[in-house]
Amino acid sequence: MPRRALLIVNTGSRNGATAKDTAVERLRVYGIEPKCRHCASRDELSPLIAEHGKDVDMIVVGGGDGTLSAAAAGVMKVKRPLGILPTGTANDLARTLGIPVALEDAIRVIAEGGTRSIDVGSVNGELFFNVASIGLSAEVARTLTPDLKRRFGKLGYAVAALHVLARARPFRARIVGGGRDVGSLTLQIAVGNGRFYGGGNVVTETAAIDDEILDLYSLEFREVWRLLLLLPLFRRGRHTKRPEVRDLRGQEFEIRTRRPRPVDADGELVTQTPAKFKVLPKAIEIIVPAHAAVED
């Protein structure tokens, strides 16, 4: 009997429109029979998976990091492994897990790979895989429209960031967690569950998506231009070594601000402060390359 997969592709993602038909064809070549369902919005994704996911062997989702995070609750509910078709702009979850971005190669991983249990982050009940943040990244998420993503791809992040940096100002926040209760004057607070975010930046040098820990950093300087000096360090996760960057680790954090501020999770605005973060250890099984699979 062929294996069965619930296949949902975000046709609005950067490469999603051309991916669905190819995915159907190639999955069948590998002996996987796809059960296709259309999803009109990210809010419908998890309920759709919960409704149809128990009758299949795996859930296959095509889209970017925001789409995959929107699928997380449904995947957790049906307890089926998640196969990823990284058709988005940044594809940081795929990068963290070693899943290739080329569609044919990603489908081969789904057909021939193993599974790895990973952690999921939660902020005010909204789930994320990579990073949730307050400040600069949330403003970039608000500025980075779908049209900007389609027109410029990864370069769209830079375009949006320039707009945000031109008007950025530090804000005051209270951070509780990781054994600390501190006040912060900051440009950004980021809480990482995974390793990569923002198109290949590294949360911290030691960040991992299955270590059952959240990694928090806070950019505590007033002059926005100083951020430019840190840009090379973000690519290696070494920015947390700088004295103006606060670095905390813990399983739960609470962040409060003087007025409500938006919180983005994996590139989507999902809630606002006050924000309670926690890690859900080993919450989801992901289909990964065979050499990266981990036996539980």
pLDDT at 97: 97
The DSSP 8-state label assigned to residue 36 in this structure reads E
User: Do 24 and 34 touch, CB atoms closer than 8 A?
Assistant: yes
Phi, psi of 106 (to 5 degrees): -65, -40
13-27, 65-79, 95-109, 250-264: range with lowest mean pLDDT: 13-27
Task: Label residue 150 by pLDDT band (50, 70, 90).
Answer: low
pLDDT at 65: 95
Task: Label residue 139 by pLDDT band (50, 70, 90).
Answer: confident
pLDDT at 229: 86
The DSSP 8-state label assigned to residue 34 in this structure reads E
Using one digit for the tens of pLDDT, what is the confidence trace for 26-37?
999 999 999 999
Tokens 């081969």 locate to 108
How many angstroms separate the Cα of 104 from the Cα of each of 24, 34, 134, 150?
A: 11, 15, 36, 21
pLDDT at 234: 94
How far apart CA 97 and CA 106 sit, in angstroms, is: 11
How many angstroms separate the Cα of 111 from the Cα of each of 35, 64, 219?
A: 15, 20, 42
pLDDT at 152: 67
Using one digit for the tens of pLDDT, what is the confidence trace for 99-128?
999 999 999 999 999 999 999 999 999 999
3-state secondary structure of 224: coil
Q: What is the mean pLDDT of residues 71-97?
A: 96
Question: For residue 17, what are the contacts with CB-CB under 8 A and spacing of at least 6?
Answer: 11
Pick the CATH number of 3-112 from 3.40.50.720, 3.40.50.10330, 3.40.309.10, 3.10.20.740: 3.40.50.10330
Phi, psi of 157 (to 5 degrees): -60, -40
142-151, 162-171, 226-235, 280-289: range with lowest mean pLDDT: 142-151
Percent of the chain with pLDDT over 70: 94
Crossing angle, helix 136-143 and helix 155-165, to 10 degrees? 120
Domain boundaries, the chain: 3-112, 126-280
Question: For residue 157, what are the contacts with CB-CB under 8 A and spacing of at least 6?
Answer: 89, 90, 140, 144, 198, 199
68-77, 130-139, 151-160: range with lowest mean pLDDT: 151-160
User: Do 108 and 83 touch, CB atoms closer than 8 A?
Assistant: no
pLDDT at 10: 86
Task: Label residue 14 by pLDDT band (50, 70, 90).
Answer: low
pLDDT at residue 2 is higher than 90: no
pLDDT at residue 174 is higher than 60: yes
How far apart CA 219 and CA 184 sit, in angstroms, is: 9
3-state secondary structure of 135: strand
Residue type, 31: G
Neighbours of 44 (CB within 10 A): 15
Task: Label residue 293 by pLDDT band (50, 70, 90).
Answer: confident
Mean pLDDT in the chain?
92
pLDDT at residue 295 is higher than 80: no
How many angstroms separate the Cα of 258 from the Cα of each of 133, 274, 275?
A: 16, 9, 12
Percent of the chain with pLDDT over 90: 74
Q: What is the pTM of this model?
A: 0.91
pLDDT at residue 151 is higher than 80: no
pLDDT at 154: 66
- Record: fold of 126-280: Tumour Suppressor Smad4 (2.60.200)
Q: Sign (positive/negative) of CA torsion 278, 282, 287, 293?
A: positive
pLDDT at 50: 97
